[in-house]
Amino acid sequence: MANAAAGKWSLSLSASENLKESVGYSVEVESSLTLDLGTVGGTAADPRAPVLQAALDFDGRAVLGATVLADIFDESGVPVAKSVALLDDGKNGDAFAGDGIYSANLLNRIAAGKSYDLVVAASAPNGARASEAGQLVKGSNAQETPLTPFNRYDEMSLFYAGSTAAGPTVTEFYHAGFGHYFITASAEEAAAIDSGRIAGWARTGQTFKVLPLNAAGAANVCRFFSTGFAPKSSHFYTPSAAECATVKGNPNWQFEAEVFSVTLPSAAGTCPTGTAPLYRMYNNGQSGAPNHRFTTSTSIRATMLSQGWVPEGAGALGVGSCVPN
């Protein structure tokens, strides 16, 4: 039936004579609105914290404003977690805000080495909207289409291998126009920058390893974003709980997420066996906006100091944290 209206439908069968055989029927429903599930992380090949993702799409456009909840069951069908919220806010495992991909970090909700069944419900009782603008189009006039209320369900199975000490790789980028450095441990974010969707940034060729979120004996790193120094923007990272709390109270900075973890150095700036110092340097505001650079290279550190950057961190050399060798 073409152009069927939304709502409840009923089907009735009648026969003109007594039937000697059973009658079966099937119903197929096609919709322009789709819900697709997937996960990132939580495998031996990708030891990042496991993140459940639910992509809502309407004719190739991101669906915004939906409520997405997940129920998690163990292999015996016993509920492990109910009504876990998946959010499209660019935080806590969600790669980008406003891209129609709703995410939930499952770390500390599921145990390593076990299988789970996940049932996800997406709804918009008060309506949602399909947006032409992606998560990287900030401040533009998004072309949006209101959607009628809907309910969608999907399910999937997941085996969580568990996170290992070998965590993600941080990639460094440089913006020549800003004179700023930027780092990310998100493969999706790095790919978006490489594709040109986030303009002005180029890889420096520098990388370093970090630990997964909530790694034992490590500190999670807070990530902040600021547009308070327009036309330039800036990111800030800190593994210090006290510094994180202070910056959260600064209205010029927006807390984005905890993005990975590192080991903290001693007060003298020494690092445990198996880790290397990650030097933290501050541009001292010389570009008109604050910016930090992080490196394990002593030669890069020396170069930055010769350009007027200031060491920050523990010990005489300014060790911000310790990362895996």
Q: What is the pLDDT of residues 111-126, one digit of tens each?
A: 777 899 999 999 998 8
- Asked if 178 and 280 sit in the same domain, the reply is yes
Least confident of 42-46, 98-102, 195-199: 42-46
What's the pLDDT at 138?
A: 43
Domain-ending residue, one of 120, 142, 160:
160
Domain-ending residue, one of 160, 190, 221:
160
- Asked if 215 and 113 sit in the same domain, the reply is no
Q: Which two tokens stand for residue 10?
A: 């009923």
Query: pLDDT tens digits, residue range 149-186?
Result: 999 999 999 998 765 445 789 999 999 999 999 999 99
- Asked if 226 and 189 sit in the same domain, the reply is yes
Query: pLDDT tens digits, residue range 103-158?
Result: 998 876 887 778 999 999 999 988 899 987 544 444 444 578 899 999 999 999 99
Question: For a pLDDT cut of 70, what percent of the chain falls above it?
Answer: 84
CA 215 to chain CA centroid, nearest Å: 17
- Asked if 125 and 250 sit in the same domain, the reply is no
Query: pLDDT tens digits, residue range 283-318?
Result: 998 888 999 999 999 999 999 999 999 999 999 999
d(CA 68, CA 86): 5
Question: Which CATH number characterizes residue 51's domain?
Answer: 2.60.40
Number of separate domains in the chain: 2
In a domain, 99, yes or no: yes
Domain extent for 119: 33-160
Percent helix, strand, coil in the chain (nearest 5)? 10, 45, 45
Mind spelling out the 3-state secondary structure of 221-290?
A: EEEEEEEEECCEEEEEEECCHHHHHHHHCCCCCEEEEEEEEEECCCCCCCCCCCEEEEEEEECCCCCCCC
Summarize the confidence of residues 32-61 as an average pLDDT: 85
Nearest in space to 101 (alpha carbons), one of 39, 150, 163: 39
What's the pLDDT at 245?
A: 96
In a domain, 7, yes or no: no
- Asked if 85 and 230 sit in the same domain, the reply is no
In a domain, 11, yes or no: no
Nearest in space to 266 (alpha carbons), one of 197, 314, 305: 314
Comparing 2 with 247, which gets the higher pLDDT?
247
At 262, the pLDDT band (50, 70, 90 cuts) reads very high
Q: Which two tokens stand for residue 272?
A: 């445990």
Query: pLDDT tens digits, residue range 65-113?
Result: 999 999 999 999 999 999 999 999 888 778 888 899 999 988 768 877 7
Nearest in space to 325 (alpha carbons), one of 293, 300, 295, 296: 296
In a domain, 69, yes or no: yes
What's the pLDDT at 150?
A: 92
- Asked if 107 and 41 sit in the same domain, the reply is yes
Domain-ending residue, one of 160, 191, 225:
160
In a domain, 286, yes or no: yes
- Asked if 223 and 155 sit in the same domain, the reply is no
- Asked if 63 and 186 sit in the same domain, the reply is no
Q: Amino acid letter at 304?
A: M
Cα dihedral 109→112→114→117 (10° resolution): 30
- Asked if 65 and 198 sit in the same domain, the reply is no
- Asked if 303 and 174 sit in the same domain, the reply is yes
What is the value of pTM for the model shown? 0.53
In a domain, 22, yes or no: no
In a domain, 16, yes or no: no
In a domain, 8, yes or no: no
- Asked if 285 and 250 sit in the same domain, the reply is yes
- Asked if 88 and 231 sit in the same domain, the reply is no
